[in-house]
Amino acid sequence: MSVQIDARGPRFSAAITTVVLAVALVTSNVWVAAFQAVVFAIGAIRGPQFTPYAIIFKKLIKPRLKSEATFEDVRPPQFAQSIGLGFALVAVIASVTGADGVFTVAVGFALAAAFLNSAFNFCLGCQVYLLLVRARVAK
């Protein structure tokens, strides 16, 4: 039995992530990208329910929501956090080494995925996870 999380939490977190990554992209600020990398690392290692954004959701947002919570398996969002971490690390390394174009592309890809989740409730990393699980089962 896997851990179940409130499905609204990752979408809220994706909205904050979208803003953070947009700031990183517009300002080309490596520290903002590094901060987001830390958030992604927490989500990838411990689970998305332990990120600072999830804590904000639990303490401030969730008590005010009137709709009933729906729950989802934590593994797809946790995998998505791992993908985000990969892009954020590439962005940080690119910035430190002077590869500004790579920084822009890496942050842009992570930003696009976060925006898809926050605006349309479409978790790209979750879909990749499900495709990989299906491919493994099909063998």
State pLDDT tens for residues 13-43. 999 999 999 999 999 999 999 999 999 999 9
Could you report the per-residue pLDDT of 55-74, keeping only the tens digit for each?
A: 999 999 999 999 999 999 99
User: The pTM is what?
Assistant: 0.95
In three-state form (DSSP H/G/I as H, E/B as E, the rest C), the secondary structure along the chain is CCCEEECHHHHHHHHHHHHHHHHHHHHCCHHHHHHHHHHHHHHHHCCHHHCHHHHHHHHHHHHHCCCCCCEEECHHHHHHHHHHHHHHHHHHHHHHCCCHHHHHHHHHHHHHHHHHHHHHCCCHHHHHHHHHHHHHHHC
